[in-house]
Structure formats: structure tokens, C-alpha cells
Amino acid sequence: METWKRRTLYYVSTLVAVFVGYALIYDYGMAVHEGHTQPFYQSMQVVVETFTTTGYGSDAPWETPEMNLFVMLMDLTGVVLIFAALPVFVVPLFEDALSTTLPTSVEDLEDHVVICTHTPRAETLISELESWDVEYVVVEPDRETALDLYESDYSVIHGDPESVETLENANLDAATALVADAGDEVDVSIVLTAREAAEDVRIVSVVEEPDHEAYHELAGVDEVLSPRRLVGESLADKITTAVSTELGDVVEIGSDFEIAELSVQRGSELVGHTLAESGIRERSGANVIGAWTRGEFETPPSPETELAAGTVLLVAGRQAQLERLNDLASSTARSPRRGTVLVVGHGEVGSTVTDALAAANISYTVVDVADKPGVDVQGDTTNPETLEQAGIEQARTVVFTVADDTLTGFGTLVARDLNPDIEVLARAEETGNVKKLYRAGADYVLALATVSGRMLASTILEREEVISMDKQVEIVRTTATEFVGQSLAETDIRARTGCTVVAVERDGSVVTELGPDFHFRRGDDVIVAGTDESVGRFTTLAN
């Protein structure tokens, strides 16, 4: 709007100067060439009539060529000024009138979270904040992105997060926390600006490269999160589980009671059977509380759910029970530790994976488009010849760690074509692409955006503890004040929220035997498992 006002002032000033100048020349020309004198205001009237094309009245026609040429010059000047006004003055005026006015500040917003800027991982964080009725505002410098968010009913302001004025307009001094997630270098600038705008506000940042953590801390960040490292460790755990008989990473809930994700491997005796036919409960003692099949989560899973290669089971039980179930879910066709692991991509996630494989003494081959230290085969990671050179036909597992979901999906199809029996694990950059990668043939997909959002939520929300951030489902310890005095059957939690109550912590002990008659008491901490959306519904309903 300031630009439009400045242009308008320049245009009007030019117009007035041209009018007066032409009026003076016209007045002089009429006296000298036509022998006709008149008041100056009449000369001004002729100029205005000429520029506005309303006619000339009694002052036309002119007899001398000098005056006729001058009038023609005035005609042309008027046309030029009118056309100049369209792009400079009229069009911007109409654009401003028709376009959506984006907010640049917030009013009366307190105890909120300021998010700089909008990223895929911010989606998970926003979902968590909304489930707890915690207000937020996204500071977005890109107008088109801000407009899309605004029209989608997000709380957003358009402005530069590196500007003190913008952060003050976001009411930062009354905020609970600020999240800096715009790139490692930009985040440092945002943090320094935030400390100037509100010295005591809590600041959390997300780093792409762990080496940059120190600089974020020096800038004044209270907590630096490195989700890529966690994703790499989680994928490495899935790989070591796939090539060994050991139970992978578990979530300890209480004394000898754990929750784990177990993948049904290709060649397992469970493949092709329904959950009821598998007899998992009878044979292992573990409880299946959820199942992921090609990106679709079901809790509780139907007894008719067919177990396929790549089905991820969310199970709970004692360690011995989980180990027995792990044996059932493992492949019987191939011996443990047989076959090389292909790691496609050697960035932060890929290097974390290879470090874990090296520590576990598991053979691996690294494929990357760039020739750099640690890379065994250099070439296009979606080219069949590159993967063949890396030995994909003899490999047992391939893990895609590249940051491009399109390349990961294409590479998954190529890998599955070259080796139909290979186990494919993949990192997804965005949560929305998880199902797409499953359809391409991946056995296990972990979204970086989901992990990042959960890490941010767990750091910011003191009322919610995300027990495990790197699982296909969210496992949360929280309160359930609205359910106090009600039985588990009366709350009907599964039907109303879509998540499962796994255990309840009461007076320092963990209760895992939760029948329909179990009653919630004041002070109970409830441990629930489900998708991010279902856990969000639970927290909204229970508090």
C-alpha cells in the first residue's frame, strides 16, 4: 500500500506540473500566434478539456500551424499520461481492492507458539498444538504460501521472521515459545532477532546438519533438535532387526512391559494368514494393539486382517513374549545376517545408518549420486545399472535415505523389479508421501516430517510426553481428567478416538491388565497409542 501511495503522489505531481506548463505555453501561443488574449484560467480549461477529451468549445479551430501543432502535442501527451496511469495507478488500485489482505500482526494472543516458518514438519506440530487447544501463529515471508495458509484457516501473519517488527507483531513477548525452522543459517538470524524482540522467550530450533548445533546454541537457542539423526537411527534399527534374530528397539512402559513395532518379513510363516489364523496371542502371549498395512493404520486390527510382507504390527507385552513374536515374524527362508544391505544416499540420515550397521558388524554398500568419502558406488540412484553394480540382486535389504520422495518412490520400483524378494526400507521427507511409497513397494516407511513434528511437540508441550517419536504410530503419556470415575467400557475410547489405551500409571506402578471394568482415577497417567490424528482426538476429549 505504501508503494501505491508513493506512485500516486508522483503521478499527481507530474500531472499538475504538465497542466500548468501547457497552460502557460497555450496562453502565450494564443497571444503571439493567434492575436487573442484571454484569462489564464481559460487556458488552463483548454488544457484540461484536451487531456480529458471533453472538447474545446469556442477556442477551436486554430488558424496558425504553430497552435495546431501544439494542440496535437497536447493530445499525444494526454494519451500517454492516461495509459501511464493504467499500470502505475489504476491497475494496482484494483488489484489491491480485489486481492486478499493478509494479516501482518495478531492481537490479544497470549501463551501461544510462534512458528517461523511453515514447513511439512510444522503440520504435525500444529496438529499437536490444536489437539491441546494451544494457540499458535505461523510467520511466513512468502506471500503465496501465507495466502494459501490464510485461506485454509491457519493462524498466520505475512512478514519477515528475521525482522524485530514482525516478531513483535506476532506478540512474541507474550508467547510460550518460538520455533525456528527455516534453514540452519536463517534460523540463527531468527534466533538473534527473537532475543532482541523478547529476551526471555523459549526458543527451539531444528537443524539440518548436526554440526550446526553449536552455532544455534551460541545464538541463544534453548533446545536444538536434530530429527535426521533420529530417523537414521530408527531405520538402522529396522535394518539390524531385519538381518538378525534380535528384537529391535522397544519402548519401555514399566517393569518388564514394553511396546514395539515388528515388521512381518518376507518369508515369515505369518505371511498370507489372517490375524485370527496366525494365533499370535496364543503362541507368543503378546497383544497386537495395532497394525500398519501399506500406510493404513488400524487399531484394534480386525481378526480378518491379512498379514502380508511389510505389515507392521504394534504389539505390547513382556520382553520374552515380544521375542517369541519376533521369531514368528522373521523370515524362515533366509538365515540371519545373510546378504548385504544397500544404503542409497549418504547424507546425514544415510551416514547415521551406516554407522549403526558398522557397529553391528553388518556388511553394507553405499550408493550415492556424488563421489564422496564413504560412497562405494557412485551414480544415479534410480538407474537400474547403478543398483545392479551395487549388487542389489544379491542384497537382502535396501534402505533409501535420500531427501527426495520422488526419487525414493522411483528407486523403490526399480529395486523391487530387480529383486522382488528384497526388503525395502525408506525415509520419506513429507508425511503425505508415505502411502505413495508403500504403494511403490516399500516394506517400511518413516516420515522425517512426522518425527520432527513430534519432537517439537514433545519439547514444547509440557502436558504431553511423546514416549516414542520414531514409530509408525504415536505413543503418548498424558492425563485423562474428563474420564475420572468412568470405566474403560463407558469411555468407549477406541470407537470415539481411534486409539488404544495401552497402560495406566497409578501411584508409581504400571497397570497393564485393562479390562472393560477398569475405572480411571484422579492422578492417573494414561499411555495411549495411535496415529497422530487419533491421539489428538483423545487428548481433546480427555482433557
Question: Which pLDDT belongs to residue 245?
Answer: 40
Strand partners, 290: 314
Q: How far is CA 413 from CA 248, 312, 343, 387, 420, in A?
A: 27, 20, 16, 12, 10
Q: Write out pLDDT tens, residues 63-81.
A: 788 877 887 787 778 777 7
Q: Write out pLDDT tens, residues 486-528.
A: 888 888 888 888 888 888 888 878 787 788 888 888 888 888 8
- How many angstroms from the chain centroid is the CA of residue 272? 36
Euclidean distance between CA atoms 48 and 44, whole angstroms: 6
How confident is the chain (543 residues) per 10-residue block, as mean pLDDT?
Answer: 64 80 84 81 79 60 77 77 62 56 87 91 83 88 91 92 94 93 92 92 88 90 86 78 46 69 80 87 84 72 83 82 84 55 91 89 91 91 91 91 93 93 88 87 84 79 52 73 87 83 83 83 85 78 78
Euclidean distance between CA atoms 245 and 323, whole angstroms: 9
Report the percent of the chain where pLDDT is more than 90. 24
Chain position carrying cell 524482540: 197
- How many angstroms from the chain centroid is the CA of residue 253? 29
Q: Write out pLDDT tens, residues 227-249.
A: 888 788 878 877 765 444 444 45
Chain position carrying cell 472538447: 55
What is the arrangement of strands in the sheet containing 525-530, beginning at the earlier edge strand?
465-468, 474-478, 525-530, 500-506, 509-511
